[in-house]
Amino acid sequence: MKIRFYLALWTGKIVLILMRLLGKKGTTFPGFIALKICPNIIGLLASSFPEGAVIITGTNGKTTTNNLLASILKTAGKKIAFNREGANMLTGITGALLQNTTFAGMPQASVLLLEVDEATLPGLCRQLTPRLAVITNFFRDQLDRYGELDTTIKLVKKSLPAATELVLNADDPLVAQIGTGRKGVFYFGVSTLPTSSADSTETREGRYCSHCGQELSYTLFHYGQLGYYRCPGCGFSRPDPYIEAKEVKVESREISFRIDDDHDDRVYQVPLQGYYNLYNALAAFCAADRLQISREDIGAGLNRYVSDAGRMEQFSLPGCEATLTLVKNPTGFNQVIHTIAELPRSVRLLIAINDLAADGRDISWLWDVDFEILTSRQDDVKQIICSGLRAEDMALRLKYAGIKEDRITMEHSLEKAVEMLEQPSANTVSAVEAAASIADGEAVFILPTYTALFPMRDILVRRKTGEKQRKVVNI
């Protein structure tokens, strides 16, 4: 066994070094090679981290939560190993371990922090017992890959070891029910948001109680199925949060909040927009608290956070400032649309939809996105360019949403689509109007699905105009 372990470790690390010399950043291929040689290499490497492993899973927000927690732990002086690039399957996790261990298999950090794909969790937990597991939320996502949402939730619930402490979203009944009957469960949530309402017209997951099947009753909705809920049948209800945000305020590029704690009067600030990023911050906050990190370091770590690729990066392009963010399922896309609709400026959008395996082959989810919100600001939506492999499907969805047809353009080439953003077509807006919009700080958003994200980002990096790329997290 030791021979196979060291052969896998050394081979994986050598492949990793060679890839770096060739200018490749990938961790998946070295991990793939190492796993083929020694299938249990993850458990053998992960067990040596002195402060244990923390895993983060859920539908939306895994990468952001993972990197927010990393920022907090670094601020507190912890040396961490984590899959920063978001490679969250077994091969990517193995690659991250190869990067952060020596040729003798010894860790180069004290804490192992891992973003984990929901479907990967069972295989990972067969090799290691996490010290802490964070679950952000559950929404319908890539049905052709994950199957029905109930199946994913059962898979996650069954996989989590009894010895693992849980940090769960109290406001999501699908997440909160995982803590029922378990010890060592700590919840996070929000008292109210500026947009919270007693009614909701959004498509909701988890409409029915996971324990008895009756329809849940809500007194307050935040978004999706998140809010204050109770089952009239068995009494299952929103648990009291261990960490709860109150007095939530949203500035131009920042969210601020307080914690419902008589001993903590700080105002916490995060350079994010979009309310689901508040939940990501609270998940990281709660996990850091359970890891014995001081509130001072938590606040500083949140405030210093800088986004990673495709999580609302901002690029300076000829003629405009463009913001890039990943969209991959109805709830996440809805939150992006809500944020855009609330901006006090005119907007132009580039939406790139692919249907490759990593995106999900079934794109019917686009019909669950509330693009109709944009029709309330028809005059401010100057241009929407539909790109990617399924540009026609996206354009059709926008037409049925009520967007004016003369504002919708199709261009399959990502490069040409970006050029159209930089130089608005006369068919969508006059040159005079374009110049005026740009001068007034027009908002330009580029919204790709997963397989379009990095090709799009490469295009933007090549075309950026500033000496230094600026990263701004909004969503």
- For the stretch 239-269, pLDDT in tens is 999 999 999 998 767 899 999 998 999 999 9
**Closest-CA residue to 178 (of 119, 135, 115, 241):** 135
Give start-end residues of each CATH 3.90.190.20 domain in the chain. Answer: 311-463
Hey, which residues are catalytic here?
362
Range 130-163 burial, b when 16+ CB lie within 10 A, else e: bbbbbbbbbbbbbbeebeebeebbeebbebbeee
Both tokens of 309, joined, read 């690729």
**Closest-CA residue to 310 (of 325, 329, 328, 332):** 325
- For the stretch 147-196, pLDDT in tens is 578 888 999 999 999 999 999 999 999 999 999 999 999 999 999 998 89
pLDDT of residue 440: 54
**Contact yes or no for 255/281 (Cβ under 8 A):** yes
Both tokens of 58, joined, read 């859920």
- For the stretch 185-207, pLDDT in tens is 999 999 999 889 888 866 677 78
Find where tokens 């992006």 sit. Answer: 336
Q: What is the dihedral of CA 381, 385, 390, 394, to 10 degrees?
A: 10
The values of phi and psi at residue 144, to 5°, are -70, -20
pLDDT of residue 425: 52
The edge-to-edge listing of strands for the beta sheet with 111-115 is 80-82, 111-115, 53-57, 132-135, 165-169, 185-190, 243-250, 255-259, 268-270
The values of phi and psi at residue 281, to 5°, are -65, -40
Both tokens of 34, joined, read 């190492």
Q: Which CATH number fits domain 2-303: 3.30.420.280, 3.40.50.970, 3.40.50.11540, 3.40.1190.10?
A: 3.40.1190.10
How many Å apart are CA 93 and CA 456, to the nearest integer? 25
Provide the β-strand partners of residue 80. 111
Give start-end residues of each CATH 3.40.1190.10 domain in the chain. Answer: 2-303
Q: Which CATH number fits domain 311-463: 3.90.190.20, 1.10.490.10, 3.90.105.10, 3.10.20.740?
A: 3.90.190.20
Q: Which helix (H) or strand (E) holds 187?
A: strand 185-190
- For the stretch 266-321, pLDDT in tens is 999 998 877 888 999 999 999 999 999 999 999 999 999 987 666 667 787 776 77
Binding site per annotation, positions for Zn(2+): 209, 212, 231, 234
